[in-house]
Amino acid sequence: MEGGAGRGLECQKTMDGKASNGNGSEKAIPSCCLKARASAPEAEAKCHSTVVSGWFSESQSRSEKASKKVYFNNPMWPGEAHSLKVEKILYKGKSEFQEILVFESSTYGKVLVLDGIIQLSEKDECAYQEMIAHLPLCSIPSPKTVLVVGGGDGGVLREVSRHPSVEHIDICEIDKMVVDVSKKFFPQLSVGFQDPRVHLHIGDATEFLRHAPKGKYDAVIVDSSDPVGPAQELVEKPFFETIARALRPGGVLCNMAESMWLHTHLIQDMISVCRETFKGSVNYAWASVPTYPSGVIGFLLCSTEGPPVDFKNPVNSIEKLEGALKHKRELRFYNSEMHSAAFALPPFLRREVSALCHSSTSTLPR
Ligand code: JFQ
């Protein structure tokens, strides 16, 4: 986009906390410019490099030399950085894989951040965890064996365990520290680990899937972080092939699939790869999650060849499952209407992601 550099310079003027109105007098910075403040080095970043002037921003920071901090756009959402006001930093640590931060926000409750990227907030986690779990599990009759990839906070497990038909839940999370931090700070999510059907495996998901018996799972749910760094291979063909192998005929995959506002190329690539790999249905759905970049998140739903799966019309509706609506806690976001609505796609997405048009089971009218 033209003019970006010029706007950047304007922002620099606000770094001292004041802005000039051009006639020599100074005025307070409008709140919209607070975001801009976080995009440059600041002495005030005293608690954590992503927290500047009391605001967490989802841009990344990296120390070049010990004393010098360099702030830059996150490559997944260049030119923007959603901010939350921080009340208190509750935890900061570094695992073998990533930097972990937990803070109390002013308006979204506690927030979990990995490598500078928001994973969940207490206020809106329900939308993501409920949708990523129930979109696939309500699309097949009586799911019994489920694998969760990632999801170390336990929120997806909490949702999967609402399903009374489920007998066995494997979870493969690479970073044990995420599980431990969640158990300490997010008991409403980590409650998912308490279900006796859950079996936790700490390790690499591709390895885990390679050794999984062929056709073992009715459903696989990939609750990954963004595909930069360690999660990169989770959007590539070999990974999807191992999932397809581990699913039974007519088994289902639900994979986090980023934002339709920001990542149409990635969505296009994922759909193309999944269409080659999964010979049943491939559909895209989405939900509103205010703390994720652009405020929405997508889900890619795929089924293997076998009994046909109509993702848009749940055959295993949650309202009919005994005890499901209130298991551990009440559902907050998901119901059968939200399920079907999630597959309605705006025209711009249909136009930009041509892969959505190339199947009898796509969400597009033919
Ligand atoms: C929550 N259980 C995991 N997964 C969250 N940009 C991702 C976090 C980062 C987002 C996309 C979803």
Structure tokens at 140: 């097949």
Q: Is 269 considered catalytic here?
A: no
Dump strand ranges (E) for the chain: 18-20, 26-28, 51-52, 55-57, 60-63, 69-72, 83-94, 99-105, 110-114, 117-121, 145-150, 168-173, 198-202, 217-223, 247-256, 282-288, 296-303
What is the predicted pLDDT for the residue at 225?
A: 84
Mutate to test the pocket of ligand 1, among 256, 267, 270, 294 (most ligand atoms within 8 A of CB): 256
What is the predicted pLDDT for the residue at 64?
A: 44
Q: Residues 195, 223, 269, 310: which is the catalytic one? A: 223
Give the count of alpha carbons within 13 A of 285, CB side only: 29
Mutate to test the pocket of ligand 1, among 297, 300, 333 (most ligand atoms within 8 A of CB): 297
Mutate to test the pocket of ligand 1, among 77, 225, 286, 333 (most ligand atoms within 8 A of CB): 225
* Residue type (1 letter), 245: R
* Nearest ligand 1 atom to alpha carbon 156: 2
Q: Which residue's CA is minimally distant from atom 7 of ligand 1?
A: 225
Question: Residue 226 Cα, ligand 1 centroid: separation in angstroms?
Answer: 7
Non-local CB neighbours of 8 within 8 Å, separated by 6+ positions:
39
User: Residues 103-125, buried b or exposed e (16+ Cβ, 10 A)?
Assistant: bebeebebbbbbbbbbbbbbbbb
Using CB atoms within 10 A of its CB, is residue 350 exposed (0-12), middle (13-18) or buried (19+)?
middle
| Per-residue pLDDT of the chain in tens (366 residues, 90 and over written 9) | 322 322 222 222 222 333 333 344 444 444 433 333 444 344 334 467 788 878 898 875 554 444 444 456 678 888 888 899 999 999 999 999 999 999 999 999 999 999 999 999 999 999 999 999 999 999 999 999 999 999 999 999 999 999 999 999 999 999 999 999 999 999 999 999 999 999 999 999 999 999 999 999 999 999 988 887 667 788 889 999 999 999 999 999 999 999 999 989 999 999 999 999 999 999 999 999 999 999 999 999 999 999 999 999 999 999 999 999 999 999 999 999 999 999 999 999 999 887 776 544 444 333
* Residue type (1 letter), 55: W
Q: Are 163 and 143 in contact (CB under 8 A)?
A: yes
Q: Which residue's CA is minimally distant from atom 8 of ligand 1?
A: 119
Radius of gyration of the chain (CA): 21
Q: What is the 3-state secondary structure (H, E, C) of 40-92?
A: CCCCCCCCCCCEECCEEECCEEEECCCCCEEEECCCCCCCCCCEEEEEEEEEE
What is the predicted pLDDT for the residue at 53?
A: 79
Question: Residue 65 Cα, ligand 1 centroid: separation in angstroms?
Answer: 30
Q: Are 90 and 110 in contact (CB under 8 A)?
A: yes
∠ Cα 331 334 339 (to 5°): 160
pTM: 0.84
Residues with beta carbon inside 6 Å of ligand 1? Answer: 117, 119-120, 128-129, 151, 153, 155, 223, 225-226, 256, 292-293, 297
What is the predicted pLDDT for the residue at 366?
A: 31
Q: Are 113 and 50 in contact (CB under 8 A)?
A: yes
Q: Which residue's CA is minimally distant from atom 5 of ligand 1?
A: 119
User: Residues 156-174, buried b or exposed e (16+ Cβ, 10 A)?
Assistant: bbbbbbbbeebeebbbbbb
3-state helix, strand, coil in the chain (%, to 5): 35, 25, 40
Report how far residue 84's alpha carbon sits from residue 69's, in angstroms, rounded to the nearest whole number: 21
What is the predicted pLDDT for the residue at 71?
A: 53
Q: What is the 3-state secondary structure (H, E, C) of 167-220?
A: CEEEEEECCHHHHHHHHHHCHHHHHHHHCCCEEEEECCHHHHHHHCCCCCEEEE
Structure tokens at 226: 């963004």
Q: Are 152 and 178 in contact (CB under 8 A)?
A: yes
* Nearest ligand 1 atom to alpha carbon 256: 12
